[in-house]
């Protein structure tokens, strides 16, 4: 299999945000950059908070034809009219999520640095597999996913692969030929100009 073409952007929301401000910030990023998917990645487990946030971001994303998924909450994804779910526990919940969301729902799985978990997730019906962190991060157990994992996956497995976790310009450049998506979130939201920050981060992609 040939190396992936230019990786697409998979945008994560911050773990917390102000509903009065964030939709406008999100709109500015989506208007400035071609984003393939948006993930609602709130730290909160409060269903009311998640529902209000999902309503806000879904409206912005869907108006721009950007698919929207939510961390972990398969039932909420269905109820709130989102496009799917991103599971944080490897392959364990993929089969149930696929059954609940049907063939058209997006089911993704974060598999840390485990090639084995990634393969199991794919066999269970995942639409994509995410590995990470790529850089120093508290994502997963903190062990960094090596370039070789992505390179092997992109050559041997047809299921798209996502790189996430403390990306920087150097890692974007290094991993660009081995991934289908870069998951970007915290890397840009602390900047006063998130759209500009994303543009700078993606500079190696041309």
Which CATH number belongs to the domain containing residue 185 in this structure? 3.20.20.70
Q: Report the alpha-carbon distance of residue 206 to residue 202 in Å, rounded.
A: 7
Domain-located, residue 152: yes
Mean pLDDT, the chain, rounded, equals 95
Domain-located, residue 2: no
Domain-located, residue 91: yes
With vertex at residue 30, the alpha carbon angle to CA 29 and CA 35, rounded to the nearest 5 degrees, is: 115
Domain-located, residue 3: no
> Contact at 8 Å (CB) between 130 and 111?
yes
> Contact at 8 Å (CB) between 204 and 176?
yes
pLDDT tens-digit readout, 70-112:
999 999 999 999 999 999 999 999 999 999 999 999 999 999 9
The domain total for the chain is 1
Partners of 11 in the β-ladder:
38, 184
Q: Is the pLDDT of residue 2 over 50?
A: no
- Across 2-35, b (16+ Cβ under 10 Å) vs e yields eebeebbbbbbbbeebeeeebbebbbebbeebeb
Q: Which residues contact 65 (CB under 8 A, 6 or more apart)?
A: none
Instruction: Read off the pLDDT band of 1 (50, 70, 90).
Output: very low
What pLDDT does 141 receive?
72
Residue 52 structural domain: 8-205
Partners of 68 in the β-ladder:
38
Domain-located, residue 158: yes
Which sign, positive or negative, has the C-alpha torsion 101, 103, 109, 114?
A: positive
pLDDT tens-digit readout, 32-70:
999 999 999 999 999 999 999 999 999 999 999 999 999
What pLDDT does 193 receive?
97
Residue 196: burial class (beta carbons within 10 Å; 0-12, 13-18, 19+): middle
């Amino acid at each position: 299999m040939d190396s992936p073409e230019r990786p697409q952007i998979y945008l994560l929301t911050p773990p917390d945000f102000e509903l009065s401000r964030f939709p406008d910030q999100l709109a500015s990023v989506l208007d400035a950059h071609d984003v393939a998917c948006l993930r609602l990645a709130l730290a909160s487990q409060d269903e009311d908070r998640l529902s209000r946030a999902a309503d806000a971001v879904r409206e912005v994303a869907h108006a721009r034809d950007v698919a929207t998924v939510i961390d972990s909450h398969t039932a909420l994804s269905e109820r709130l009219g989102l496009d799917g779910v991103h599971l944080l526990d490897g392959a364990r919940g993929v089969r149930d999520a696929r059954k609940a969301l049907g063939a058209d729902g997006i089911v993704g799985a974060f598999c840390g640095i485990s090639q084995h978990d990634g393969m199991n997730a794919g066999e269970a019906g995942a639409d994509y597999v995410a590995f990470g962190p790529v850089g120093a991060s508290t994502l997963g157990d903190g062990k960094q996913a090596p370039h070789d994992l992505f390179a092997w996956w992109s050559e041997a497995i047809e299921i798209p692969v996502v790189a996430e976790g403390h990306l920087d310009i150097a890692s974007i450049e290094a991993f660009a030929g081995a991934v289908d998506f870069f998951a970007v979130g915290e890397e840009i939201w602390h900047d006063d100009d998130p759209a500009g920050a994303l543009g700078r981060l993606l500079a190696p992609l041309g």
